[in-house]
Amino acid sequence: MKIGIIGGGASGIFAAIEARKKYSDVTIFDKNDFLGRKLSSTGAGRCNLTNVNVSPGIYQSINKFSFQDLIKNYDYIFLNEYFRQLGIHTYHTDDGWVYPLSNSARNISTLLEDHLTTVNVKINKNTSVSSFIKIKNRFQLKTDSGKSYEFDKLILASGGKAYPQLRASDAILQSLLNFGHKLIPAFPALAPIKTSKHETKSLNGVRLDATIRILDNKSVIGSEFGNIIFTEWGLNGPGVMNLSHLVHEKNNLKIVLDFSSVLPPEFLSIVIANKDKFLYLSTALLSIFNKKIIEQLLLNLNFGLYSPFRINDFINLTNKMMFTENILGTRDFEFAQISTGAIESSQINPETLESKLCTGLYFAGEVLDMIGPCGGFNLHWAFISGIIAGQLKN
């Protein structure tokens, strides 16, 4: 039995590790000159491998969400033990983000490629698969250099379109159309959001946490408490990026940044009780916000940094601690961590990740319709879906 895997990223590597446990002839293809090229750039070079808080509710999808049972069964405890067996030792931050002890993403891709070499997986680097077809129960692959290969089972783990600078591309998905598979269009996800700069012009470079809401007319279509970075073209930071997949193909969306959720409990009652101690309206906020935020909040209500403290003005201010901007779209794939383009889940067995339309064809990683937030959730999905596809169950 010959097993072929297209894509040597996070999911393809784990598919190869798992497939090799059962089958002696496993071959992996990747365009890049080392396996795990994107993996080696993750987590700002530190490799945010997974998250202690992985659960099905954290993930989203463009069409129907189909893989909750896999996430329930292949959780953080499962994956961390799997890592340990491979010699990957981890730690996690207070908020659950998991990293290797070395804090080196490049070390992890090296360790994994070395592992595949020791277990005799055949590794074809610098090899781009241009197409595949199935003839008489065997998959035939063609590479860009004109070479052909044949396999009994095939795992497609070719990733998405995010970061084309690392040669990411979803061109190979076109081969699936011959099998009757439907494709969901690709858009940048976990991407910065471009906005008008009506209310936040002076805030470039400021970074802080707030509640972020995306509004379509007056309905909230997404909400998140998280980190925001103000930039000259709009908004960056994990909190904003986690909502970016919601903004495509829609006009006139607005983004609201609500700072009232940052105020400590009983903030207003403490200020009221101490109202004689504050010289300016801004004074009571100085310990909480960056000065630029305070200036802009005051400006939006026609106050200045040195407007005298009056309790009614202050109550009015705390009721309007938010900025609203028009959404102009996301930044492009070059700035996105994942993409939405994927294979329609209803045509895939949700337990085995085998195609329902073509026996022996399996999928793993970002080619599936799954969107995790920042924090290790996307690599978690890539690793576990690789393991599941690599089991090659019918």
Ligand X SMILES: Cc1cc2nc3c(=O)[nH]c(=O)nc-3n(C[C@H](O)[C@H](O)[C@H](O)COP(=O)(O)OP(=O)(O)OC[C@H]3O[C@@H](n4cnc5c(N)ncnc54)[C@H](O)[C@@H]3O)c2cc1C
Quick note: the x/- pattern for ligand X over 275-314, rule CB under 6 A, is: ----------------------------------------
Based on the shown chain and the rule CB under 6 A, indicate whether residue 157 belongs to the binding site for ligand X: yes
Based on the shown chain and the rule CB under 6 A, indicate whether residue 362 belongs to the binding site for ligand X: no
Which residue has its beta carbon closest to ligand X? 9
Q: Of the listed pieces 36-44, 241-249, 251-259, 275-283, which binds ligand X according to CB under 6 A?
A: 36-44
| 123 beta partners | 28
Based on the shown chain and the rule CB under 6 A, indicate whether residue 79 belongs to the binding site for ligand X: no
The one among 4, 18, 19, 38 contacting ligand X by CB under 6 A: 38
**CA 60, CA 192: separation in Å to the nearest integer?**
18
- Is residue 178 helix, strand or coil? helix
Based on the shown chain and the rule CB under 6 A, indicate whether residue 161 belongs to the binding site for ligand X: no
Q: Are 376 and 345 in contact (CB under 8 A)?
A: no
Based on the shown chain and the rule CB under 6 A, indicate whether residue 188 belongs to the binding site for ligand X: no
Based on the shown chain and the rule CB under 6 A, indicate whether residue 163 belongs to the binding site for ligand X: yes
Based on the shown chain and the rule CB under 6 A, indicate whether residue 128 belongs to the binding site for ligand X: yes
Based on the shown chain and the rule CB under 6 A, indicate whether residue 382 belongs to the binding site for ligand X: yes
The alpha carbon of residue 296 and the mean position of all alpha carbons in its chain are separated, in whole angstroms, by: 31
CB-based contacts of 230: which residues, under 8 Å, 6+ apart? 200, 203, 204, 205, 206, 207
The one among 5, 6, 19, 241 contacting ligand X by CB under 6 A: 6
H or E stretch at 27: strand 25-29
Residue with tokens 């940094």: 305
Based on the shown chain and the rule CB under 6 A, indicate whether residue 7 belongs to the binding site for ligand X: yes
Q: Are 363 and 353 in contact (CB under 8 A)?
A: yes
**CA 121, CA 27: separation in Å to the nearest integer?**
6
- Give the nearer residue to ligand X in terms of CB position, either 155 or 284: 155
Q: Are 364 and 385 in contact (CB under 8 A)?
A: yes
H or E stretch at 142: strand 138-143
The one among 52, 70, 162, 240 contacting ligand X by CB under 6 A: 162
Based on the shown chain and the rule CB under 6 A, indicate whether residue 353 belongs to the binding site for ligand X: no
Pairing of strands 138-143, 129-135: antiparallel
Q: Of the listed pieces 18-26, 42-50, 307-315, 326-334, which binds ligand X according to CB under 6 A?
A: 42-50
Based on the shown chain and the rule CB under 6 A, indicate whether residue 32 belongs to the binding site for ligand X: yes
The one among 16, 18, 20, 29 contacting ligand X by CB under 6 A: 29
Closest distance of CB 29 from ligand X, Å: 5
Based on the shown chain and the rule CB under 6 A, indicate whether residue 167 belongs to the binding site for ligand X: yes
Closest distance of CB 214 from ligand X, Å: 21
To 5 degrees, how large is the angle CA 100–CA 54–CA 240?
A: 90
What's 234's DSSP letter? E
**Which amino acid type is present at position 266?**
E
- Give the nearer residue to ligand X in terms of CB position, either 36 or 329: 36
Based on the shown chain and the rule CB under 6 A, indicate whether residue 11 belongs to the binding site for ligand X: yes
Based on the shown chain and the rule CB under 6 A, indicate whether residue 365 belongs to the binding site for ligand X: yes
Q: According to the 3-state scheme, what is the secondary structure of 86-104?
A: HCCCEEECCCCEEEECCCC
Upper half-sphere CA count for residue 345 (Cβ side, 13 Å):
18
**Total Cβ atoms within 10 A of residue 120:** 11
Q: Of the listed pieces 10-18, 80-88, 287-295, 301-309, which binds ligand X according to CB under 6 A?
A: 10-18
Based on the shown chain and the rule CB under 6 A, indicate whether residue 168 belongs to the binding site for ligand X: yes
- Give the nearer residue to ligand X in terms of CB position, either 278 or 377: 377
Q: Provide the token pair at 174.
A: 């076109």
| 209 beta partners | 227
Binding site for ligand X (CB under 6 A): 6-12, 29-32, 37-39, 41-43, 48, 128-129, 157-159, 162-163, 167-169, 172, 337-338, 365-366, 376-379, 382
